[in-house]
Structure 1
Amino acid sequence: MLPAMGWLRGFGRRRRDLGPVAAGLALFGFGSVEIYVPLAPYVEGESPDLAALPGGWLAVLTVLLAGYCLAVAACGSYPRAAVVLVGVCFVAQSFTPVLPEWPVVPLLALVVVCFACVAVGGRHGPVIAGVSYFVSLGIETTVADDPDWAFIVFVALAVMGPAYAVRMRRAQAERLVALAAEREAAARTDERLRMARELHDIVSHGVAVMVLQAGAAQVMLDSDVRQAHESLDVVQEVGRDVVTELRRLLVILRGEGTLERLPSLRHIEPLLTGVRAAGGRVDVAVNGDLGRVPAAVDVSGYRVLQEALTNAVKHAPGTTVSVAIDVGRTDLRIHAVNDGPRIVRQSDGGGLGLTGISERVELFGGTAVTGPREGGGFEVRVELPLSGDSAAPVPSHTGASV
């Protein structure tokens, strides 16, 4: 599908490039008829009889005609070079027996190429087109001893005014495209951050429990083999849970998952089991109907609680954690407190876990309070608005949490 779309875009560009080429060829054919087929003079009494010109002048006019037509054919791809070329040809023809104002092709070519240069000629296109236009016609009228600057200015305004309007519209379209690209890049960056946070939440809790249980098994391997085996069984079970969770995330990233498979505060038993397996105790109190909680808020609340329990397991093993989940009329409140020792640094690696909690809450316009308690231990207190006007969207098929 994508290669076909690219081919279609390329075909569209080639078709646009063929337009000026076809116009140049048509102009060459019409100009050849002007030169080699005897016609009535365009300006009665002033236009020379082309059929009576020597063959050398006809050859010069043919070369200049080719230059005009080449400039028209190239004005779409090389507008500034084309406007210089048509200006040179116009000036050169001013010194031949046939002035460029009499045949149709020279003036028409000059006007068309100047229009293209102003419209698509880049930063200096209007200046180059203006210089080429006024210098060419200025020299021609001087040589003809018939300066008609009113006509020259009128044609300039009639041609370059609309061309400049086209230029402004193109510039506006390019700005809109650039803005859309910037927004897309920002969205991609935000999506990568959300996926990174989701992976951190999935892995950190399980790995923390596995490390503690593996350490306990190593200590008790010689003194209490049965307990060591139980710790290793916990490591194996938690490892399977982590792998299952990672597979779930990958399935959702492929667009095959649904919102029902995302983490939910209604299913926090695996989190509690991990803490208990690490030797801790968890008391949970739920007030209100969790079914009223929007999916995006539900996932973020689950991840906030997961981070709080992971911190307790990592930094205060064996502690008792009290968790209160309250579903109010307008917000969801989560309060997790452990009674471990007073530890200021609750998250290694630069505090990414607590930073993740703050970022999640900020997306919803909520509040988060994390820190040590005066009597010891650590608490996490979060309020997430239930309003649908929150900044975070409902999780999409990518599976990245909000």
Structure 2
Amino acid sequence: MEEPGGARERWRYGPPWSDRPDGAGGHRPRRPWRSTALLTAFVLIGSTYAAHHQPLREPLDGYARVLMLVASALLLWRHSHPALVAYGTCAAALVYLGAGYPYGPVFLTVVVACFGAVVAGHRRAAWGAVGLLWAGHALIGLWLYRRLPPPGDKAAGIGQEIVVATWVLAVLALAELARVRREQWARERADRAQAARRRADAERLRMARELHDVLAHSISVINVQAGVGLALLDTDPEQARAALTTIKDASKEALGEVRQVLDTLRAPGEAPRAPAPGLDRLPELVEQAASAGLTVEVEGGPPRLPPGADLAAFRIVQEALTNVVRHSGSRHARVRLDHDRAALRLRIDDDGPATGADAGGSGNGLAGMRERAAALGGTIEAGPRPDGGFRVLAVLPLTTEGDQ
């Protein structure tokens, strides 16, 4: 049994049988029953009132009311067939006028139909229909009035036709203004939706970079230590135990950083539970690399950095050292930090050679570093050195707190 609310919702737009499936998998457009019914009542009542004040015109009869009902009923299709409705209401109003019936609200149906046609983009149809109605009115008022009812009717005069034309142009101008505003609102909605999609894409890309950098580094350390543990499990249990301890610490840290990244999916406006990593954690990074068998020599110290640049610099060094662990035969790397008031320069070197083995990575490490640098207006250069080994050189623009 259907709920009463559902029935009321359908009746809001007309009787249930008026909105059945059209056979093409969809539904016919819902008819504006309420507004059309109100407008029909206004046209009938208003025309009856107007007839009492125009005794020289033909009295309203059944034929006049049929014409008013036809003109009003056509408005039910003004959303689905705006051009045809514009011409149909103009034709009904012209016949009503030619029959000599009183001037009145019947012309409001023409206004509504043509207004809707213009707003819907059928400008030529609306202008053409109104033009035909005005031409017919001028023809009746200036020439055919002698042969059409009511008897003894007088010529309308040029001034009256100019007034009618002015009203017609005013209505069409308002319709054009509404159409322009509607198109502007549609463009603004589309722009806002596109901007929201771009922001969502940028956020997904940022999260993907963060997760890649966190997991690639930690899992590389875990992979190396797991190999050490397996190799020494029987011959050197204490060293195997140390490798397992390193695996535990690395996995715990990776879980914490992944949780921090995923915290951004919580409700907007909440502060992060932990600060984003920066170059102040470079000693921890060196210790993690050492646990993977890589000795890292650091030259220079970091300046005071904005949070975005600090995080990018940390991730670039982290990814570069991860690539050394995974892809290089060298067990020694050098990290050099140089800076001035304009930029921070990071240089990460290893002596190679490249192992050429498949390390199981995604191949997105260098791309992620370039994206991070580009987001800050910086650059990344990465490639083999002439004397062997591999070098990553990052230049990040920055503004230190002392410059502010």
TM range (shorter): 0.7 to 0.9
User: Which letter maps to 1:107?
Assistant: F
* 1:261 and 2:278 are equivalent in the alignment: no
Question: Could you say what secondary structure the match of 1:261 adopts?
Answer: coil
CA RMSD of aligned residues (A): 3.3
Give the alignment of 1:196-345 within 5 angstroms: 196-254=208-266, 256-258=270-272, 261-287=275-301, 290=303, 292-316=304-328, 319-342=331-354
Structure 1 position 20, deviation (Å)? 6.7
Match of residue 114 from structure 1 = 114
Decide which moves more: 66-75 or 170-179: 66-75
* TM-score (normalised: structure 1): 0.77
Decide which moves more: 62-71 or 375-384: 62-71
CA distance in 2, matches of 1:216, 1:17: 79
Question: Could you say what secondary structure the match of 2:124 adopts?
Answer: helix
Question: Could you say what secondary structure the match of 2:346 adopts?
Answer: strand
CA distance in 1, matches of 2:34, 2:305: 59
Structure 1 position 94, deviation (Å)? 4.8
- Segments of structure 2 that go 5 or more residues without pairing to the other structure are 1-11, 13-31, 146-155
Q: Would you say how many aligned residue pairs link Structure 1 and Structure 2?
A: 354
Decide which moves more: 70-79 or 246-255: 70-79
Question: Could you say what secondary structure the match of 2:347 adopts?
Answer: strand
**Higher RCO by CA contacts (8 Å cutoff, separation 6 or greater):** 1
Runs of 4+ with >6 A deviation = 16-20, 343-348
CA distance in 2, matches of 1:234, 1:222: 18
Q: Is the 8 A contact 1:201 1:306 kept in 2?
A: yes
Q: Is the 8 A contact 1:279 1:317 kept in 2?
A: no
Identity score, percent: 28
CA distance in 1, matches of 2:214, 2:174: 60
Match of residue 5 from structure 1 = none
- Segments of structure 1 that go 5 or more residues without pairing to the other structure are 1-10, 51-57, 389-402
Structure 1 position 110, deviation (Å)? 1.7
Decide which moves more: 165-174 or 152-161: 152-161
Decide which moves more: 263-272 or 339-348: 339-348
* 1:378 and 2:377 are equivalent in the alignment: no
User: Which letter maps to 2:66?
Assistant: V
Match of residue 96 from structure 2 = 93
* TM-score (normalised: structure 2): 0.77
User: Which letter maps to 1:104?
Assistant: G
* 1:27 and 2:40 are equivalent in the alignment: no
Match of residue 364 from structure 2 = 352
CA distance in 2, matches of 1:260, 1:236: 21
Post-superposition Cα deviations, 1:300-356, rounded to whole Å, max 9, x if no partner, equal: 111101111110111125511111123321211211111221568998756311111
CA distance in 1, matches of 2:319, 2:326: 10
Post-superposition Cα deviations, 1:102-132, rounded to whole Å, max 9, x if no partner, equal: 32122233234323321x223xx21221232
Structure 1 position 224, deviation (Å)? 2.6
CA distance in 2, matches of 1:114, 1:152: 16
Structure 1 position 66, deviation (Å)? 2.3
Decide which moves more: 344-353 or 263-272: 344-353
CA distance in 1, matches of 2:357, 2:342: 32
Match of residue 392 from structure 1 = none
User: Which letter maps to 1:28?
Assistant: L
Structure 1 position 140, deviation (Å)? 5.4
CA distance in 2, matches of 1:49, 1:245: 86
Q: Is the 8 A contact 2:44 2:65 kept in 1?
A: no
* 1:104 and 2:104 are equivalent in the alignment: yes
User: Which letter maps to 2:207?
Assistant: M
CA distance in 1, matches of 2:314, 2:123: 60
Q: Is the 8 A contact 2:305 2:399 kept in 1?
A: no
Q: Is the 8 A contact 1:265 1:298 kept in 2?
A: yes
Match of residue 3 from structure 1 = none
Q: Is the 8 A contact 2:373 2:394 kept in 1?
A: yes
Decide which moves more: 367-376 or 87-96: 87-96
